[in-house]
Structure 1
Amino acid sequence: MSDNCVFCRIALRELPTELVHESPNTVAFRDLRPQAPVHVLVIPKPHHPDVATLAAADPALAGEVLSTAAAVAEAEGLRADGFRLIFNTGRYAGQEVFHVHAHVVGGAPLGPMLSS
């Protein structure tokens, strides 16, 4: 855990959030600035700065993050029409919090993945 990481503090329940799902190693909660009708963040409880670092350090935990994201999509009713799972890695990708997190986004047509 990182003392100054907001997602570590959420995982420890030091900061309030709307939890959607929790497992022994992951937490899912609603994004404070949703970009779609459903926008949930899925994080591992241990601190890893990005998905590439997580995959190299703990592939099993990376798989748990994906399993949690799938469970969230199912629970939120997104499986039938589809959803987007996004990992932003690094500042050029728009990563703002440097604790790996997956965005589960859906509930409406999402449009193109990248803007022109």
Structure 2
Amino acid sequence: MDCIFCKIVDGAIPAKKVYEDEKILAFYDISPAAPVHILVIPKEHIESVVDLRKENVEIVSYIFEKIRTIAKDFNLDESGFRVVTNCGDDAGQTVKHLHFHILGGRTMQWPPG
């Protein structure tokens, strides 16, 4: 498989890790869009939200539990933060592996900018 996030999970590509357990990995984005920009991924390769199934959908609630903890660790729970996932090319998904962006440390705008 030629998935950069799978290679990060396997240790073939280094990443600045924030959190890791048997199910997920969280690491700093290499092109941050905010002072705090962390990616949270399942270790199992799932291409996007569209590919979630009854057999693997529980990983999303698990990821959101950990996002809450990570946000608290970075003191984002008090000031606020954004969680984003892109699904498909038109949405801007550049890596075809389900991932969630935690963005914080600045005031966010809507629409995003």
Q: TM-score range by the shorter chain?
A: over 0.9
Match of 1:74 in 2: 72
Residue 36 of structure 1 corresponds to 34
CA distance in 2, matches of 1:74, 1:55: 29
Residues 110 and 55 from structure 1, CA distance in 2 versus in 1: closer, same or farther, beyond 3 angstroms? farther
Structure 2 length-normalised TM? 0.93
Q: Tell me the secondary structure at the aligned position of residue 63 of structure 1.
A: helix
Identity of aligned residues (%): 35
C-alpha RMSD over aligned residues? 1.4
Give the number of aligned pairs. 113
Aligned residue number for residue 27 of structure 1: 25
Cα distance in 2 between the residues matched to 1:57 and 1:12: 23
Q: Which one of 87, 93, 100 corresponds to residue 98 of structure 2? A: 100
CA distance in 2, matches of 1:87, 1:24: 21
- Shifted more, 33-42 versus 56-65: the winner is 56-65
Q: Does the residue aligned with 2:45 lie in a helix, a strand or coil?
A: coil
Separation of aligned partners in 2, 1:4 and 1:86:
23
Over 3 Å counting, the alpha-carbon distance change for 1:97 and 1:62 in structure 2 is same
* Aligned counterpart, 2:13: 15
Unpaired segments of 5 or more residues in structure 2? none
